[in-house]
Amino acid sequence: MNTKKVRVRFAPSPTGPLHMGGVRTALYNYLFARAHGGVFILRIEDTDQTRYVEGAEDYVREALKWCGLDIDEGVVAGGEFGPYRQSERNDFYSEAVKLLLVSGYAYMAFDTPDELDALRKKAASEKNVFQYDALTRMNCRNSLSLNNEEVERLIESGTPYIVRFKTPDVAEDIVFRDEIRGEICISSQVVDDKVLVKSDGLPTYHLANIVDDHKMDISHVIRGEEWLPSAPLHVMLYKAFGWEVPKFAHLPLILKPEGNGKLSKRDGDAGGFPVFPIEWKDPKNGNISSGYREQGYDPRAFLNMILMLGWNPGDEREMFSLEDAAKIFSLERVVKSGARFSPDKARWYNEQYLRQESPAKLAEPFVKLALDRDMALNIKDAEEILKMMLDRISFLKDVFEAQWIFKAPSPEDYDTEMVRKKWKPETASYMFDLKEMLETVSPFNATEIESRFKRHLEEKELGFGQVLLPFRLALTASGGGPSMFDFAEYLGLEKTLERLTNGVDEIEKIKAA
């Protein structure tokens, strides 16, 4: 039984906004840490300065904050294993690579880009693909193929060089276990002599990643499937250093809604759904990509949706708070195959979370949304509106599509199609009678209005459809919405009558046109 303390890290590179898949990697790491009383670390992998994008690190932190994924250790949060930004850890990498050079697991390579290009072309002309490895390296210019004096001369004269990992001379099986995929066995022959240090002296991802995971005492490496091909090299690197290999778990891809291929930003643009947690403004061209936050998603709904993309509890449950998920999360229940993203399901999750809330609690954010639209709304009305609308909307902002729900102004855009179909020559007189009846309802509340309405229909020998739908049409200009009795109560007698009168006038005008 391995009793090593669980320490996991989310290690994004600040090369742009965090994709939904990145959020899921962070979430699974977070849940795994919480499930095992472990530590969740945020490490910024910024060794590749050419791909560095301004604002990307801040974006990652803000996105994780919005999701409620609290970081125990890392950039800003701090911790004993810092610094947590790779660009500040170069001393560790230089020291580590020296160890590999001394022990013979790494070597210096002086080949120029032109020389490498010539080797690639030559291989291509022989219908091969050039790979810098055990078979080819002795034909290249490196500290293994050149004699010591030549190597010293090159170094002294300041010739640029890189450091490569030396894969075994004789092919070996690299065997490791993936917590999701089981045992994986790959021949070292298929792995090339990867670059560990670039000619500017900075480490590549592979070196920095292994050194940091070791130095930060990482117990489990939980990351996207795209890193699975790098895992054999990583295992060899740990062994070369003589370090304990952490456990690996490579998460399945998130697939397009159609199920064919990896979900990309382009799919989001085409399908009208975000692929980023929060809005991203590209510093290069100012282009804005929408985020779930800005679309009006409850972060809990977004996370719950992400949670279920590749994991299941083993039963039918679909609703999980972070706390509940942390109690039962396990890597064994992460699926191997890709998980198909569904924009409808994302919306469904938001509806579920919205409906769990009380109108009283949502009233304040709703008033704020109204203010953003230059609408003054009091808390009481906001609450009443939400009581009527909550189970008819996917997002709070959807309420604004039903402008008639607000007391002022009276609706104008009548559904002419509906008017033509449902408004008969005699309907105006039904509305007139209804108005007279409504004036006598006291107290003017939904229950009373409803029972009087029913009695009225009986007395007049009219059907529900003959009166209720025109009543709705006159008051709301549309054919759907909440209970008209609730709506009339919320409007109050005066407004109800005013809308009824105006509505009949407007509708009659449409009919006459």
The Cα 173–Cα 236 span in angstroms is 10
- Among residues 237 and 301, whose Cβ is nearest to ligand GLU? 237
Binding mask 10-39 for ligand GLU (x = CB under 6 A): -xxx--------------------------
Nearest to 182 by CA among 314, 303, 34, 332: 332
The Cα 304–Cα 309 span in angstroms is 9
Please report whether residue 223 would count as binding ligand GLU according to CB under 6 A.
Answer: yes
Instruction: Give catalytic residues, as residue numbers.
Output: 265
Please report whether residue 212 would count as binding ligand GLU according to CB under 6 A.
Answer: no
Residue 511: other Cβ atoms inside 10 A: 15
- Among residues 222 and 473, whose Cβ is nearest to ligand GLU? 222
Residue 11: other Cβ atoms inside 10 A: 26
Candidate segments 7-15, 33-41, 170-178, 411-419, binder of ligand GLU by CB under 6 A: 7-15
Least distance (Å) between residue 20 CB and ligand GLU: 14
Please report whether residue 227 would count as binding ligand GLU according to CB under 6 A.
Answer: yes
- Among residues 107 and 248, whose Cβ is nearest to ligand GLU? 248
Residue 398: other Cβ atoms inside 10 A: 14
- In whole angstroms, how far apart are CA 217 and each of 38, 354, 373? 12, 41, 51
Candidate segments 174-182, 220-228, 442-450, 499-507, binder of ligand GLU by CB under 6 A: 220-228
Candidate segments 9-17, 384-392, 452-460, 471-479, binder of ligand GLU by CB under 6 A: 9-17
Q: Which of 131, 143, 188, 209 binds ligand GLU (CB under 6 A)?
A: 209
Please report whether residue 44 would count as binding ligand GLU according to CB under 6 A.
Answer: no
Site size for ligand GLU (CB under 6 A): 8
Phi-psi region of 384 (alpha: psi -120 to 50; beta: other; left: phi over 0): alpha
Nearest to 252 by CA among 331, 343, 323, 342: 331
- Among residues 230 and 394, whose Cβ is nearest to ligand GLU? 230
CA atoms within 13 A on the CB side of 366: 28
Please report whether residue 45 would count as binding ligand GLU according to CB under 6 A.
Answer: yes
Sign of the CA dihedral running 18, 20, 22, 28: positive
Q: 3-class DSSP state for residue 177? A: strand
DSSP string, 415-477: -HHHHHHH--TTHHHHHHHHHHHHTT-SS-SHHHHHHHHHHHHHHHT--HHHHHHHHHHHHHS
- Among residues 64 and 386, whose Cβ is nearest to ligand GLU? 64
Please report whether residue 219 would count as binding ligand GLU according to CB under 6 A.
Answer: no
Least distance (Å) between residue 223 CB and ligand GLU: 3
Please report whether residue 247 would count as binding ligand GLU according to CB under 6 A.
Answer: no
Least distance (Å) between residue 117 CB and ligand GLU: 28
Note the residues at the interface with ligand GLU (CB under 6 A): 11-13, 45, 209, 221, 223, 227
